[in-house]
Structure 1
Amino acid sequence: MTDVRAEAIAVRREAPARALFRLSRPRQWHKAVMLFAAPAAAGALESPVLVLRAAVAAVGFTLLAISVYAINDIRDAPDDRRHPTKRLRPVAARVISPAVAALLGIVTALAGLAITSSLGVSTFALATAYLVAQLFYVFGLKHVAVVDLVIVALGFVLRAAAGGTATGLPVSHWFLLVSLFGAMFLVTGKRKAEHTAVSRPVLAAYPTSWLDQVLTVCLLGAALSYGMWAFQYLGHDAYRELLAISFLPFFTGLLRYALLVSTGRGEQPEHELFRDRVLLIAGLTWAALLTIGLYCA
């Protein structure tokens, strides 16, 4: 209790600039790596121009995400003040006023749309769709069972697709399915972990047995989609065959993560990768096989 009080006092004394930075949730910025997935899967990361275009798109989508976080915190402030940890969010803690948070949301939204528009109509359209979908989520759809899962997963798919349009690279349908099923797998695992750790109204609509069914479907969907993507390159080139072999550590990682979720972990997927040794080794092995198969052929 003493630590919580000390943290609350520190938050109230927080400098406005630092509070705004915290409002933007920098721990979530890693999601922009999805903008590099399409050029990486196409073996195009050797091109500085394409990497730069993907980086510009990543900045644009990160700004759009910051806009959504700001609007979300304004809307959820009354409920956040009753939550043991969310009450420390800048708006809920009254360190940042709703007006300032709204200004941040508007500025970052306009900046994100302006940046993505410089990458072409298709990327701008995907960015707009992302922003609209996330705002619908904030303003009510996050309380609608199933729809909330789909919209969160859709955010990852739109990022992945935008990585292709921003760089002008064709995106495999199997690649998009891997993104969709993989995102649904992680989001569903997060919801299951939150059943016992976090108070979220929509969780009451999700029986654990149903979440387990969705996890199974998404695991199989992600595995089969990745297999179809990887095996389409199988040929006489020894390096390309490594893409097919990469299916094994990919599937192992999915199964291992599903096991962690079944034991109550999975609320923070990005942290589990580094805390679980088997998951980390599987991830590194998959990354190595994928890199050699795509860039050494």
Structure 2
Amino acid sequence: MSWYGSNPYIAVLRPKQWTKNLLVFAALIFSIKIVTVAMWGKCIAGFLLFSLVSGCVYILNDYVDREADSRHPEKRHRPIASGRLQPIRALAFGCILLISSFSMAFILNPWFSLLLLGYFMINVAYSMKLKHIVIIDIMVIAFGFVLRAIGGGLVIDIPFTPWFLICTMLLALFLAISKRRHELYLLSKNKGEHRKVLEQYSPELLNQLNSIVTTAAIMSYSLFTFTSGHTIHLMWTIPLVMYGIFRYLYLIHMKGKGGRPEEILLEDRHILTTVMLFAVMVVVVLYYFE
């Protein structure tokens, strides 16, 4: 069991999924030449606040889905579904954490606190209703990634280009579609019992959607490197983006993975190395060639 797995109050926040909130640092990386210590501090605070609020969303989601999760081959081990954490105590813990997070976010940046509130409300709507609506469910997941990227820019007062936000949306759609495909693969014998929306998906449909978003993502990122206002040498990062997407597709189709992007990032050394090389290359290009 992991270091946090023995504590249900920490495990219910799903720390492994906090890697998704690293997108908050995107604005900082693409503004490396003007970065200050204060900006680093604000970004770290933004990352932590997004992680805590997303943890509150997970608490609510686990509370609502506790019966279905108890029958799921993997989700049945979650604190609420397994009975290690009483549902009422989990909700009380989440409420205290949520109020504290919003208060700290308002002190950090009022606009950021509003965005964080919008992020929470959208995710509540997802947990209650939107996750049962085909296509809308994956688009809401992707929109959450876009809000993370915008939030990272807000805390350090750095705007994003539309092309970057489009790239973020498309890559997030890719991850969301891949997650649904993995769920179909895992629960193919009784796919509607655990997540009702799976009844309206098929592997063929999800494969087609992935083909569309991966093509669009690569093209959008390529255009971003030429039109973002930064140095044209950003184009040398395009092969890394392509390899990362291709590697993920390989893991989906050949290894039956894709259900947990946060675990793939940490466990697949090819993906992890690609992400690290991409970050380093962007910093070097923007710092020395812009």
> What range is the shorter-chain TM-score in?
0.7 to 0.9
Matching residue of 1:10: none
* Aligned partner of 1:287 among 262, 279, 290: 279
Note the C-alpha offset of 1:272: 3.1
CA contact (8 A) 2:30 2:283 kept: no
Give the TM-score normalised by the residue count of structure 1.
Answer: 0.86
Tell me if 1:122 matches 2:117.
no
Q: Offset at 1:233?
A: 5.8
**CA deviation profile, 1:149-180 (whole Å, cap 9, x unmatched):** 01111111101100001110111111111110
Q: Deviation at 1:113? A: 1.3
Instruction: Indicate the residue corresponding to 1:85 in structure 2.
Output: 74
Q: Which runs of 5+ in 1 are unaligned?
A: 1-6, 8-13
Higher relative contact order by CA 8 Å / sep ≥ 6: 1 or 2?
Answer: 2
8 Å Cα contact 1:242-1:289 kept in structure 2: no
| Closer/same/farther in 2, CA of residues 62 and 278 from structure 1, 3 Å limit | closer
Match of 1:184 among 155, 159, 173: 173
Identity %: 29
Greater radius of gyration (CA): 1
Structure 1 residues 281 and 204, CA gap change in structure 2 (3 angstroms): same
RMSD: 2.2
- For residues 207-265 of structure 1, what are the alpha-carbon distances to aligned partners after superposition, in whole Å with 9 as ceiling and x for unaligned? 21211121112112211221122123688xxxx44311111221222123223322332
Equivalent residue of 1:265, what SS? coil
- Pair 260,119 (structure 1): closer, same or farther in 2 beyond 3 Å: same
Residue 37 (structure 1) aligned with residue 26 (structure 2): yes
2:61 corresponds to: 72
In the aligned structure 2, how far is the partner of 1:36 from the partner of 1:275?
A: 21
Aligned residues: 279
| Residue aligning to 2:261 | 269
Counterpart of 2:191?
none
Distance in 2 between residues matched to 1:75 and 1:56, nearest whole Å? 29
Aligned partner (choices 235, 245, 259) of residue 236 of structure 2: 245
Structure 1 residues 95, 259: CA separation in 2 closer, same or farther (over 3 Å shift)?
A: closer
Check 1:70–1:285 CA distance in 2 against 1; reply closer, same or farther (3 A cut). Answer: closer
8 Å contact from structure 1 (residues 174, 226) kept in 2: yes
Partner of 1:131: 120
